[in-house]
Structure 1
Amino acid sequence: MTTTNTYELMFILRPDLTQQQVNQQMHKYRDLLKDLGAQKVSMEVWGKRRLAYEIQRFQEGVYILSYFTGDGSQVAPLEKNMRLSEEVIRYLTMKQDKEIEFEENELPEVEETVETPAPVVATEEVTSSEASEEEDTTSTEEEEEATPVEA
């Protein structure tokens, strides 16, 4: 009789991976768990977050939380695969004491985070003669403020 345990796996991927590469890694580890005999596998993307301390010169990482059920024989090969992977910078597998209810889900697709550029502020075009006039007026105003006035 084999006992089925629930395991929680948190792993952190390099922050410089593209959306497609993150999805490939998630599919890779889900398929590996299934091949190793895990009954249910659930993965949730937490997204890119700042690390508590620098790891391999990275200050951020893509966090992925996974739950799976199995007899425990999946843990060692999974961790060995993650240890040898260049994409995974940290991982942690924990056996849960109590039964955690979770549903096997389709792998979520990581959305590409596109930073919107700062808005461009339109300025009036100033001709070179107007620019020199503006410079002249500002310098005389500054000079007037600097000279003391006697009363």
Structure 2
Amino acid sequence: MYKLAVAAFLSIRRLKTMSIVYETMFILRPDLGDEQVEQAITKYQNLLKEHGAEDIQIQNRGKRRLAYEIKKQRDGIYIQFNYTGPGTAIAPVERAMRLSEEVIRYLTIKQDVHEEKAAQVAVSA
């Protein structure tokens, strides 16, 4: 019983020291063309990679109506990034988005994936 508890504790500790999973959603101006949207996606993807992010998954959610007007825009192009990486990778990307004219809103959240994995490891051990 003691060995099982120690093994579960060590595996949980290992998971917490790994990179954290983040999700960044941002909204681009609706008047951008397809090429400009791809350039923006590539720019932020490369910025994430430069700062240590890995396993970047990109989802272009397309043009959608906003719930309320943001920077005099009623529509926006939604882009979602899911990635793992250090917390230090977020600030430079959000700074670039804040200074960009093409991004009208952005949000980054930390996903709670490690708790589920830790519970699975503890049960299987």
TM (norm. structure 1) is 0.63
Answer yes or no: is 1:59 the counterpart of 2:74. Answer: yes
Partner of 2:50: 35
Partner of 1:83: 98
Partner of 1:15: 30
Alignment of structure 1 residues 64-75 onto 2, 5 Å: 64-75=79-90
How far did residue 98 of structure 1 move? Answer: 1.6
Partner of 1:46: 61
Which letter maps to 1:11? Answer: F
> Is the strand fraction higher in 1 or 2?
2
Answer yes or no: is 1:98 the counterpart of 2:113. Answer: yes
Which letter maps to 2:95? Answer: K
Structure 2: any 5+ residue segments left out of the alignment?
A: 1-13, 117-125
Q: Percent identity?
A: 54
Poorly superposed stretches of 4+, deviation over 2 Å: none
Question: What is the count of residue pairs matched by the alignment?
Answer: 100
How far did residue 3 of structure 1 move? Answer: 2.9
Which of these two proteins has the greater Rg computed from alpha carbons? 1
Structure 1: any 5+ residue segments left out of the alignment?
A: 101-151
Q: Write out per-residue CA displacement over residues 56-93 of structure 1, whole angstroms, 9 at most, x where no aligned residue.
A: 11000000011010011101111111000000000000
> Is the helix fraction higher in 1 or 2?
2
Write the distance in 1 (CA, Å) between the matches of 2:80 and 2:86: 19
Write the distance in 2 (CA, Å) between the matches of 1:98 and 1:41: 15
Which letter maps to 2:76? Answer: G
1:24 aligns to what SS in structure 2?
Answer: helix
Higher relative contact order (CA 8 A, sep 6+): 2
